[in-house]
Structure 1
Amino acid sequence: MEKTKVTKSLAFKTMLRLFVIVIVLSLIAAAVIGAVSYAGLVNEVRNYTYEAALKGSLVTSSDNQADDNNIENYLKTGKTDKNYENIFLNLMLINDDYGLQCCEIFVPHEDYVTYLTSTNDKVLGESLNKTSKYFGEEKSYVSRAMNVSADTELNPDKSKRENIYTENEKNGAKIVTYYTPVLDSNGKAVAVFAASYSTDKVLGTIFGYIGGLIGVSLGVMLLSVIILYFSIRKHIIKPVTKLTESVRTIKESVKNRQVVNTDIRTGDEIEELAVSFEDMNRDLIGYIDENTRITAEKQRLDTELSLATGIQAGMLPDKFPAFPERNDFDIYASMKPAKEVGGDFYDFFMIDENKLGIVMADVSGKGVPAALFMMHSKILLKSYTLMKKTPKAALEEVNRQICENNPEEMFVTVWLGVLDLETGVFTAANAGHEKPAVKQADGSFELYMDKHGIMVGYMDGIRFKEYELKLTKGAKLFLYTDGVAEATNANEELFGTDRMIEALRTAEDKTPKEILKAVDDAVNKFVGEAPQFDDLTMLCIEYNGKTEE
C-alpha cells in the first residue's frame, strides 16, 4: 500500500509540475508577443497617422491656394462657400480612408486656437471660428508645425522631415496626433492640419491574435507534456519504482548474503544508479562480514587485555593495610592506567624485620609493550633489592641486565628507597624520576630536591648516586609518577607540582589513603571531562617509629 502511494505521488507531482511549466511558459510567451506586437503597432500607427496628416496638409493647402488663400477670409466672415465645403469633404474623406479618430484644421494664436473645420462637425461650418485652449504641451508642437517649410515637409528623404506629434493615453488606448502646416501660395503656413489616431481600433484584433496564439501554444504544449509524461513514466518513474523495491529488500539480501539484482537497463544515469546500488549492496555484505570478523578479533583482544590487566594488577600490592601486624608505619598506593594496561608501577616489600623497600617507576610508552617491560623491570628491582643491595647498586645491576637485551630501546624512571624502620633513615636513589614530596612531623609537604640520575635502560655502564633522608616520627613521604603533575585539562593547562603540593597540604594530617584520595580528587576536578593521557600512580608512607614496650 505504501509502495503504490509513493509511486502515484511521484507520477502526480511530475504531471502537475509539467502542467505548471506549460502555463508559465504560455503566459511568458503571450506577454512577450503582446509587448512586441504592441510596440510594432504603435510604430505603425505613428507612420500611418503621419501619412494621413501629410496628405491632409497637402490637400488643404491646395484647396486654400486655389481659392486665393481664402482661409483667413473664412475666419473673418464666418461664412462658408463651395470651396469651404470642398475642404470639409476632403477632411472627411481622409478621416474615413485612414480610419482616423478625428481630423481638424485650426489657426493657432498665443494662448488658443481658432477652428476652421473638424470631422466632428455635424453640419457644415459647425466648428468655424470656435476657439479652444491648448492641451498640455500642444502649443510647442503647433508652433513647430507653423514653422515647417514646404521643402522640409515634402522632402523625399523621410528621415529629414519634421515628425511633429503628441501621444496621450485615454481609456487604456494610445492617441497619436500629428501636426502638419497648411500653406498659402507663398509657401507660408497659415493653419495647422491635425490628424489623430486611436489604437483602440486595433487592440481587439491584436488581443484576438494573441488569444489564438496562446490557445494554439497551449494545445501544442499540452500535447508535448502528455508525450513527455509517458516518456518520463517509462524511462524514469518505473525504473525508480523498481529500484525502490530493490532498496526495500536490502536488509533481507544482507541477511542472506545475496546481492539484489535490480534488472534495470535504461542505458542512462538511472542504470548507473542501479549498478551503483548493486555494488553498494555487494560492498555492504563484504563490510558486514569484515566487521563481524574484526568484532570477533576485538572481543578476543579485549578478553586478552582484560586478562593482562588482571595479571598486571595482581603483580602490584593491592591489599591494605599491607602489614596489619605492624604499627611503626602505614602505607597506601594506587594506580590508574591510561589504557587497559599501563607502564607505571609501584612496589613495597619487607627486606628483613627492620627494613622496608619502596619502588615508584614509570616505563616509557603505554599499552602492552610498556606493561611487559614494567613486569620485567619490577621483578629485577625487587630481586636485587631483596639481595640487600643498596639502592645505588640495585639500580646499576638492573640497568646492566636491561641494556643487555633491549631491542626496543625502552627505559624506565625509578625512585628506589630502603627505609630503616628503627632509625627512620631512608637510603634512596633517583633514576630520572619525579622529586618526592616530604612532610616532617612539625612541617608541611614540600618537594624534596634529591639527586637525579639517568633513566634505567637508557645506556649501559651508568653510575647512580644515592642519598639519605631522615624521617622523624609522624613524617610522611609522597611518591608519584609524571601522570599527576602533567594531568591536562580542556584548556591544555598542566596540573603541575604547585597544585599537587596544595592538594597534599589540604589533607596532610590525614592517613596515607586519605591523602591519595585528596590528590586524586584535585586532579579529577582540574581535568574535568578531558581524557586521561598518562597513567596516574601514587604512594604515600607515614613513619610512626618503633613503639617502646
Structure 2
Amino acid sequence: MVKLQHSISSRISLIIISTILFIMILTGILLYLYESKQSYIQLKEDANVTLKRLLANLKTPMWNVDREEIDSLISLEMENNNIYAIKLYDELERLNVGKIRYYNGDVGNMIIDQDIKSLFYIQKTIEREHTIIGNITVYFTDAHLKKSLRFTIFKIVIQIIILTIMIIVVISMSVNRVIISPIIQLTKTVNNFSEKNFNVRSDLDLENEIGILGDTFNSMAQIIEDYSEHLEDIVEKRTNQLNKLNKELFIAYDQMKKELKIAQKIQESIIPKNLDDFKNIGIGGYYMPMALLGGDYYDVYKIGENKLGIVIADVCGHGVPASLITIMAKVLFNNYSNKDKTTGEIITMINDELLNIMGEIEFLTAFFGIIDFDSGMLHYSNAGHPEILILKPNNNFINLTANSPIIGFCKNVDFLTESIKIGNGDKLILYTDGVIEARNKKNDWFGIERLKECVYKNKHLPAKELVTKISKEIYDHKGNNILEDDIAMLIIDINFDFEEIDNNWG
C-alpha cells in the first residue's frame, strides 16, 4: 500500500513540478529578454538627456570656466551608475577633463587619454555662436543594468519556487484525500477478501470512478460468496448432470459402434471372398480400409455365358458416406452390366443414376473392364482412375490410363470404351491410389515404379500369392506410419489361349 501511495503521489508531483519548472524557466527567459530590451531603450533615452544637459552647461569657453567647476559638473553626471566614462576635449582636441568608473564602482580621473570599451557611447561637439569650442564623449555600460536584472529575476524565481511548493502541497493533499486514501481502503478490502473473508464489502461512498470500482467489487464479492455458500450443492448438481450426459453419450456411442460394426460387415460382404470359381483364371484380391469403414472396393462377376466383369473403384472420402456409395456402386454395376452394353454405356447409366440419387455431392473413380472369352479382348473404361497395368509374357508393361472423367461429377458426359487383346500369361494388376501413395517416415511414396518392380520380381507367383507379396512390400515401406488412404488390389492371371476355351470356363 505504501508503494502504491508513493507511486501515484510521486508521479503526480513529478508532473506538477516539471510543468511549473518549465513555466518558470520560460517566464524567466521571456522576462529577462523583455526587461533587457526596455532597460536598453531607457538607457538610450537617459544618455541623450545626460548629453543635452552637459552641452547646455558647457556653452561657455572652457578657458573661461573654472576647471574645478567643470570637474564638479562631470563628477555630478558620473553619479549615474549607467555612465562608464566621460571625456571633455577643448577645441584643439586635447583632453581637458576625463572621468572613468572602476570595477569597484569608484570614479577616478583619467591622467591621459585612453581607449574606452563600453556598451555604447555618444559624442557631440560643443558650439557657441556657430564656433566649435570643444567636444564631449559619454560612454555607457550595462553592468548596473545586468545587476538590476539579475536581482529582479532572482526575486521572480524565489516567488515561483514558493508558489510551486504551495501548489504541490495543496494538490498532494487533494490527491491523497480523493484518490490515494480510497484506493488504499479498497486495497485493504480486496486483500481481506483474498483471505477467504467473503463477507467483507467496500464502504466507499464516492460518485467517481473509484466509487464505481468499489460497487463493482461488491457485486463480484456477493456472487462469489453465494457460490461459496452453495458450492457443494452446485458441484453435486453439475456432477449428476454430467453423469447423466455421460451415460447417454456412452449408450449413443455403444449404439453407433454396433451400427458401424454392422455397416462394416455389410461393406465386407460386397468384397468377393471366393475367387476360385473361375477356371483357367487366377484371381487374387486384397482390401484394407484406413478406418472402420472405407471407400474402396473391387468386384469380379460373370456377364452372360462368356464374359467376365471386373471393377475396382475409389470413392472420394471415408467413413459411412463413402461406404454407402461403394454398396450403391456394386449394386449398380451388377444391375446395369449387360452382354449387349459397352463399358462406356454401362458407366454412363451408373453416373446418371448416382447423380439422381445423391446429387453432385460425392464422386468416385473406377476402372471397369469386360473380358470377352470369345474374342480374347478386354473392353474397358477408365473413369479418372490410376492407370491399370498388364504384364505381358515378354516382361513388358502396358498401361491402361484414364480415358473418361470421374463418375458422379455431372451428367451428359461421354465415357469412352477401349479394347485391347489379352492372352495366355498376361497379368492384370488393378489397384487404388492408396497403394502407390503409401508413405514412409521420409515422406516417400510407394509409387508406381516400385509397384512395377515388385510385380516383375514376383511374376512367377500366382495372383493370390502376388497380392500378399505386394501388400507386405507396402507395409514394409510405410513402417510405423499410419495409412492415409484405403488400399485395394485385384490381380488376374490369364492362364489359357482363348482359341482353346469352351463355354465351361467359369
Secondary structure of 1:230's aligned partner: helix
Q: Which residue of 2 aligns with 1:332?
A: 286
The code of the aligned residue for 2:286 comes to Y
The code of the aligned residue for 2:5 comes to A
Residue 13 in 1 paired to residue 7 in 2?
A: yes
Deviations 1:178-229 (A, max 9, x none): 3222331268782321121221344134213312321222222231122123
Residue 347 in 1 paired to residue 287 in 2?
A: no
Correspondence list, 1:369-408, <5 A? 369-381=321-333, 392=343, 402=354, 405-406=357-358
Residue 179 in 1 paired to residue 179 in 2?
A: no
Q: Is the 8 A contact 1:333 1:538 kept in 2?
A: yes
Q: 1:196 to 1:336 in 2, by over 3 A?
A: same
Q: 1:410 to 1:331 in 2, by over 3 A?
A: closer
Secondary structure of 1:509's aligned partner: helix
CA shift, 1:452, in A, is: 3.7
Q: Which residue of 1 aligns with 2:110?
A: 127
One of 57, 61, 67 as aligned partner of 1:68: 61
CA distance in 1, matches of 2:454, 2:46: 117
Q: 1:520 to 1:35 in 2, by over 3 A?
A: farther
Residue 85 in 1 paired to residue 39 in 2?
A: no
Q: Which residue of 2 aligns with 1:154?
A: none
CA distance in 1, matches of 2:97, 2:254: 118
Q: Structure 2: any 5+ residue segments left out of the alignment? A: 90-94, 228-237, 439-443, 458-465, 497-506
Q: Is the 8 A contact 2:425 2:493 kept in 1?
A: yes
Deviations 1:312-340 (A, max 9, x none): 5545559x997798994443344447xx8
Q: Which residue of 2 aligns with 1:197?
A: 142
The code of the aligned residue for 1:209 comes to I
Q: Is the 8 A contact 2:437 2:447 kept in 1?
A: no
One of 437, 456, 480 as aligned partner of 1:509: 456
Q: Which residue of 1 aligns with 2:165?
A: 218
CA distance in 2, matches of 1:424, 1:473: 16
One of 381, 393, 403 as aligned partner of 1:430: 381
CA distance in 2, matches of 1:195, 1:330: 126
Q: Is the 8 A contact 1:69 1:185 kept in 2?
A: no
Q: Is the 8 A contact 1:360 1:479 kept in 2?
A: yes
Secondary structure of 1:184's aligned partner: strand
CA distance in 1, matches of 2:406, 2:328: 19
The code of the aligned residue for 2:430 comes to F
Q: Give the root-mean-square deviation of aligned CA atoms.
A: 6.0
The code of the aligned residue for 2:311 comes to V
Q: Which residue of 2 aligns with 1:174?
A: none
Q: Structure 1: any 5+ residue segments left out of the alignment? A: 1-6, 75-79, 108-112, 136-165, 167-176, 254-260, 488-494
Q: Which residue of 2 aligns with 1:102?
A: 84
Q: Which residue of 2 aligns with 1:540?
A: 489
CA shift, 1:273, in A, is: 11
Correspondence list, 1:24-423, <5 A? 24-65=18-59, 67-68=60-61, 81-95=67-81, 100=82, 102-105=84-87, 116-120=98-102, 126-132=109-115, 135=117, 177-185=119-127, 190-198=135-143, 199-233=146-180, 271=212, 313-316=264-267, 328-336=282-290, 344-348=295-299, 358-363=310-315, 368-381=320-333, 392=343, 402=354, 405-406=357-358, 412-417=364-369
The code of the aligned residue for 2:61 comes to D
The code of the aligned residue for 2:98 comes to L
CA shift, 1:32, in A, is: 1.6
Deviations 1:117-164 (A, max 9, x none): 2234999973143322x65xxxxxxxxxxxxxxxxxxxxxxxxxxxxx
Q: Which residue of 1 aligns with 2:441?
A: none
Q: 1:333 to 1:227 in 2, by over 3 A?
A: same
Secondary structure of 1:94's aligned partner: coil
Secondary structure of 2:312's aligned partner: strand
Q: Is the 8 A contact 1:399 1:456 kept in 2?
A: yes
Deviations 1:234-270 (A, max 9, x none): 6667668878999999xxx9xxxxxxx9999866667
TM-score (ref. length: structure 1): 0.59
Q: Is the 8 A contact 2:435 2:488 kept in 1?
A: no
CA shift, 1:372, in A, is: 3.0
Secondary structure of 2:142's aligned partner: strand
Q: 1:362 to 1:228 in 2, by over 3 A?
A: same
TM-score (ref. length: structure 2): 0.63
The code of the aligned residue for 1:331 comes to G
Q: Which residue of 2 aligns with 1:142?
A: none
Secondary structure of 1:200's aligned partner: helix
Correspondence list, 1:478-517, <5 A? 478-480=430-432, 501-505=448-452, 507-509=454-456, 511-512=466-467
Secondary structure of 2:385's aligned partner: coil
Q: Is the 8 A contact 1:88 1:118 kept in 2?
A: no
The code of the aligned residue for 2:101 comes to T
Q: 1:364 to 1:37 in 2, by over 3 A?
A: same
Q: Is the 8 A contact 1:102 1:119 kept in 2?
A: yes
Q: Is the 8 A contact 2:390 2:429 kept in 1?
A: yes
CA shift, 1:231, in A, is: 1.3
Deviations 1:90-113 (A, max 9, x none): 223323xxxx37343367xxxxx9
CA shift, 1:504, in A, is: 3.6
The code of the aligned residue for 1:181 comes to Q
Q: How many residues align?
A: 443
Q: Which residue of 2 aligns with 1:492?
A: none
The code of the aligned residue for 1:210 comes to V
Deviations 1:353-383 (A, max 9, x none): x998643224467765444333333344467
CA shift, 1:14, in A, is: 1.0
Q: Is the 8 A contact 2:186 2:214 kept in 1?
A: no
Share of identical aligned residues, percent?
Answer: 16
Q: 1:222 to 1:432 in 2, by over 3 A?
A: same
Secondary structure of 1:185's aligned partner: strand
